[in-house]
Structures are given as structure tokens and as C-alpha cells.
Structure 1
Amino acid sequence: MTTGLQILDTDACLTLLRSVAVGRIAWATDDGTASILPVNFILDGTTLVFTTAPGSKTDAIQARRPLTLEADDLEPALRTAWSVIATGPAEIVTDPAEIQRLKTLPLAPWVSSPKPFFVRLTPEKITGRRIPLHPGGVTTEHIDPGGEPT
């Protein structure tokens, strides 16, 4: 049993986003359903940057639909976790100097496939919450080499 959720402020959310490399991008499609795809991303100042190929994400950006990035981490054994959601407009970066600068960032896609577009999501809203580590949530047992628990 937890003592409740902790609501995180923007600074805590940004710190947590810096600690992970994978999140999920979500947007509304033409028919109103949600599309959600995993992306490797990096925080560049207070904006989120990822690469993509032409397709549904770029279509959503060109249609000026807001994007939402969700990232999280959890530890099942300790029953603790956090989740951050950042929503705002996104743009495909077209300035050659900015593209060159973004190429120097340690953005490390897991899949080696052509992703010619850098996308920058500028969060207008960032929210986060954490399930804190709580006392009594973990039990450990030491096994003596003689086979008896201690």
C-alpha cells in the first residue's frame, strides 16, 4: 500500500525526462483516434527532440496537431514509479545550422533506419507524478551458507 501519489513540479519533471532515452509520442489522427509510438528522444534545454521518417508523425506535425510525449520508469520489486507527460506544438527543424547542432547531441536511436527529420516538441504543459518508495515495501532475506535463513 502506498502513501499516495506525489505531484511533480516542472523542474522535477524535466530532471526525470533527462534520465531516460525512450518515451511515447501520441497525437490525434484525422478520424479522432489516438496514435502512440515509441521514440528515442533527448531533452535540449526545455524542448524535446527526436528523429523520424516521413509518415503519420510528420503528417500530424504538418497539420499543426499538438503532440504529447509520455516517459516513465518503474521498479516493480520496490513498487515505485514515475511518469511525466509533456504536451505542445511540434515542428520539423529545417534550419541547416540547427540541424547540424542537433546532430551533435547524444540522441541514440535503437533502430538504425533512415530518419531524416529532427522534430522539436515545445511543451506548453508538463505534468508528472511519482509513486514514492514507502517504508515496509521490501523484504530481504540472507541465506547462510549452512542453508538456514538468518
Structure 2
Amino acid sequence: MRPLEREEALRLLGTVPLGRVVFTRHALPAVRPVSHLLDGGEIVLRVHDGGAPAALAAPSEASGAVVAYETDDLDPRTRLGWSVVITGFAVEVADPVLAARYARRLRPWVQGPEPTRVVRIRPDLVTGFRLERDPAADVRAG
């Protein structure tokens, strides 16, 4: 297992369309799968009004809700790949022009009514690892 530098972790996060947002709901941890995009180093999501993840979006920078965001690309057969976890503050995108631009670029991961709100997460803590094949183990096995 090799730790990832911040830049590599964010780059990898941007290569996949789905992840899991972790937030607090009724004073307990909650996790939901969501579609995302990476824009300027921030994670952007769309959520439904009234849905559980909508509660994670604080209306302003000053009162951003603390959340975690996790995504990965792990091969179940080889058990190799990578995982990235972001911890930061989630705020609603209030600018209607910017929100509309994100909405056009972000496809929901499930069929149904279109999400009505756009949320961005500013990464403060970025951690990740890559699971790689050990070349020394290949030599010993060969």
C-alpha cells in the first residue's frame, strides 16, 4: 500500500463519476452514493430538496457543514487499485448561473426527478492510497 500525495489523490478522484458522501443526519453518520465532478480542486454534487444529503449543504462559506467524500477504483479480482477520502466543508452553490452550468455537466447516477440543488465541497484534508503489486513478491513467486 502506497500513500497518495494530495495532487495525485485529487487527480484520481476526477477520473471516476461516482463516490460516497458522508455527513451527519439526526446526530448520526449517514452515507449516500452520488455523482460528482471535480472543478478547480473542489468536488461538486447535485442533491434533491428534502433528501438526506440536502441537509449537508450549508447556505454560506462561514457555516459550511463538515463532510467526508470517498471514491475509489478497486479491482475485486486482483485487489489492486486506489481509494481517496476528502474531508472538508460543504456549501450550496448560490450563484444560479454557476449552479446551472454544474447541473448541465453533472448527470444523476439514478433515474428519477432531477436534483434541484448544487453543493460543492472544499477539500481541507485529502488522504488516499494505492494498492500495488509488490514486485519483490513476484520475483520470490517466480
Shared fold per TM-score greater than 0.5: yes
Matched with 2:47 is 52
1:19 CA drift (Å): 1.1
Secondary structure (helix, strand or coil) at the match of 2:78 reads coil
TM-score, with length taken from structure 2: 0.83
1:130 CA drift (Å): 1.2
After superposition, residues 97-136 of structure 1 pair within 5 angstroms as 97-105=97-105, 107-112=106-111, 113-135=113-135, 136=138
Give distance in 2, aligned partners of 1:60 and 1:96.
Answer: 19
- 1:11-51 CA deviation, whole Å, 9 max, x = no partner? 110111011111000012233x2100000101112000111
- 1:106-125 CA deviation, whole Å, 9 max, x = no partner? x2222232201011111111
* Contact residue 81 and residue 130 of structure 2 kept, 8 A: yes
Matched with 1:142 is none
Matched with 2:36 is 41
Q: What one-letter code is carried by the residue in structure 2 that aligns with 1:117?
A: R
1:9 CA drift (Å): 0.4
Matched with 2:66 is 66
The answer on 1:94 being equivalent to 2:89 is no
Q: Which has the larger radius of gyration?
A: 1
Unaligned runs of 5+ in 2: none
CA RMSD of superposed structures (Å): 2.0
When you count strand as a share of all residues, which structure comes out higher? 2
1:6 CA drift (Å): 0.5
* Contact residue 43 and residue 122 of structure 2 kept, 8 A: yes
Give distance in 2, aligned partners of 1:124 and 1:68.
Answer: 10
Question: What number of residue pairs does the alignment pair up?
Answer: 132
Secondary structure (helix, strand or coil) at the match of 1:67 reads strand
* Contact residue 79 and residue 133 of structure 1 kept, 8 A: no
Unaligned runs of 5+ in 1: 140-150
When you count helix as a share of all residues, which structure comes out higher? 2
TM-score, with length taken from structure 1: 0.79
